[in-house]
Copies of this chain bind each other. A is one copy, B any other.
Amino acid sequence: MPTTACLLVIGNEILSGRTQDANIRFLATGLGELGIALEEVRVIPDRPARIVNTVTECRARFDHVFTTGGIGPTHDDITAACVAEAVGVPLEIHPESYRLLEDYLGKEKFNPARQRMAMLPRGATPIPNSVSVAPGFTIANVHVMAGIPRVMQAMFTALAPTLEHGAPLVSVGWHAIDLREGALAEGLTAIQAAFPALDLGSYPFERPDGRRGVTLVAKGYDAGSVAAAGTQLHDFIVELGHTPIEGEPVA
C-alpha cells in the first residue's frame, strides 16, 4: 500500500473561475515522485464550517493532507484557525513566526491584521520557504501551504524531505500514431487484468501537426511489474499493426 494524500485547495477564486489553478499538477507530480499517492483533490470555499469538516474527514481517510490558500492577513484567510479546530488544539501566537514577520515588515507596518499571520495551531512546525515570510506549517498529518504558486512550491520543496513516504511512482508509456481507443479497449482490459496492482491508461492525443493517436501508460509503485507491463503494451501495439514509439508524443 502506498502512502496516500489528499490536497485541499481552499479559495473562492478557483470556484468562481477568477483564477486558473496552478497548484494541483505541481503537487500531484511532486508527490508521485516522492512515493505518495495523491488520492483526491477538493476545491472548497473560504467558509469555516466547510474547511473544518473537510480537514477532519480527509485527515482521517488519508495519510497526509496538504492545503493551499488562506494564510494571508485578510478576513478570508482562515485556514490556520480552521485547521487548529479540526485537529483540536488552540490557535496561538507562534513566537518565532511573530519575530520573523516583524523583522521582515518592520515594527510600523506590523499591524494587527499582519500579526494575525503569526497565529498557528499549538504544536505546529513552521514550513520554511525561500521566497517569502508566509506562515506555512505542519500540524499532525496536515501541511498548510500558501496559495501563490511560487511560495507554495518553495514550501513543498522544503517540506518534501521530511515527509513519510514509500517507493516512488514509476511509469512507462508507448504511443502510436493513427491508433484509436475503440480498437484497443478489449486487449488493454486483458493486460490490466494481468497487472491488478498497476494503473493502465490510454490517452488519445492530437499533435500540433494534426496527427492523432493514443498513448498507453502503465503506472505503479513496483518497478518490475511496471517494466513487464510496458513490454506487454509495446507488443500489443505491434499486434494491432501499429508502430510503438516510446514515451509521449512530442511533435
Residues of A near any B CB (own CB < 8 A): 9, 12-21, 24-30, 32, 37-46, 50, 72-76, 105, 109, 111-114, 116, 148, 169, 171, 181-186, 188-189, 192, 199-204, 217, 219
- Given A42-B41, A112-B186, verify A204-B148 contact (CB < 8 Å): yes
How far is it, in angstroms, between the C-alpha of A189 and the C-alpha of B113 when the chains are bound? Answer: 10
Question: Nearest-CB distance from A44 to chain B (Å)?
Answer: 6
How far is it, in angstroms, between the C-alpha of A219 and the C-alpha of B15 when the chains are bound? Answer: 12
How far is it, in angstroms, between the C-alpha of A192 and the C-alpha of B202 when the chains are bound? Answer: 48
How far is it, in angstroms, between the C-alpha of A45 and the C-alpha of B39 when the chains are bound? Answer: 7
Question: Nearest-CB distance from A196 to chain B (Å)?
Answer: 12
Partner of A184, one of B15, B74, B171: B74
Given A16-B28, A16-B171, A20-B25, 15 other A-B contacts at CB below 8 A? A12-B201, A14-B41, A15-B37, A16-B32, A16-B219, A18-B203, A40-B42, A40-B45, A41-B41, A42-B42, A74-B189, A105-B182, A109-B183, A111-B183, A148-B204
Interface contact B113-A186, CB-CB below 8 Å:
yes
Question: Nearest-CB distance from A202 to chain B (Å)?
Answer: 5
Question: Nearest-CB distance from A128 to chain B (Å)?
Answer: 20
Q: Residues of B contacting A28 with CB < 8 Å? A: 14-17
Q: Residues of B contacting A45 with CB < 8 Å? A: 39-40
Partner of A43, one of B24, B148, B192: B24
